[in-house]
Structure 1
């Protein structure tokens, strides 16, 4: 059962954060217009925003992913969801989900709240989803490979080293079976690693 108070709290956090993000987009997106999406069907398909290039009106679907569990902290990594559990069954995470229309992830990190009930600053890193999936494939980190790793975790909690990645400089698997209700399995990637390989770019 969903905890109503937690749901309300999460919704409040997201609303507060979107206020800050929209202000930052207005300031830093010189060559793009943006529209925040309220349509639930589009949101479920991985579209929180649409960036439209001013020069040619080309639209890009943006999925915002925010580290709202780590306020006033600046983590060097981001968690890309491979799977999670719902109602006792294993579900596919958003990274490899073919139903998602996402072109770019807007990874929101280093979220600081220097005033009560208000987020005052953050970092935004844009990740090209298609380029990320292609890059992972060149590393032999396909959906199939990662599903095999998932079987090896066998429901255990914690960090799992991948032979395809340097665990300190690039990334690793993390299974949250003890501290999160949905027990997600995430591919943890270093943001600098993604930037250095041309997969990501800091917007702010």
Structure 2
């Protein structure tokens, strides 16, 4: 567990310069500050964007597909629940202690033969709009918790009637192959753009 955690941190650190380069290039109307304070990171703040005109601030939580280097996936996994010390815990998506305004989903991460990251895609997701959309579909935290409890023995994909599995999304249980046994809401990136809760930066 620890070695994988350290490996992920190392990858995140190596990815940061590329992300900052893209932010500088494509977020023309904003200044950004990278957060290193652990307490703020635990509140879902990796980055603070500040509008140059209004000076309004937005908290951004970066989520990178670091397990899929040199692959391009059409989906992203939003964490609903995970296990720690034998107890089920709230995942980051519905965690009310998070102050996140936007998720920066980092996908299609490519590196060269020297393990230097060369390109990636970044999709910004408005957290509040995503929550509202899921709520309107009946996929709120309470409903999903009950659903996960009923199907807790499942390992793998679970289709739900509220989402079209091919064009929108589904649930995925990793009960056997991951120590934290996460349950994720898998959503298609183009679906998030289509419903107006996400915008691709690059």
For Structure 1 versus Structure 2, the TM-score category normalised by the shorter chain is over 0.9
Residue in 1 that maps onto 2:161: 163
User: Unaligned stretches of 5+ in structure 1?
Assistant: none
Counterparts of 1:177-188 in structure 2 under 5 Å? 177-188=175-186
Residue in 2 that maps onto 1:83: 81
Counterparts of 1:31-180 in structure 2 under 5 Å? 31-180=29-178
Query: TM-score, normalised to structure 2's length?
Result: 0.97
Counterparts of 1:18-29 in structure 2 under 5 Å? 18-29=16-27
User: How many Å apart are 1:6 and its aligned residue?
Assistant: 2.2
RMSD: 0.9
Question: C-alpha distance in 1, partners of 2:25/2:112?
Answer: 20
Query: TM-score, normalised to structure 1's length?
Result: 0.97
Q: Deviations over 1:128-175 (max 9, x none)?
A: 000000000111111111112101222321000101010111000000
Number of matched residues? 202
Question: C-alpha distance in 1, partners of 2:124/2:200?
Answer: 6
User: Unaligned stretches of 5+ in structure 2?
Assistant: none
Question: C-alpha distance in 1, partners of 2:167/2:137?
Answer: 15
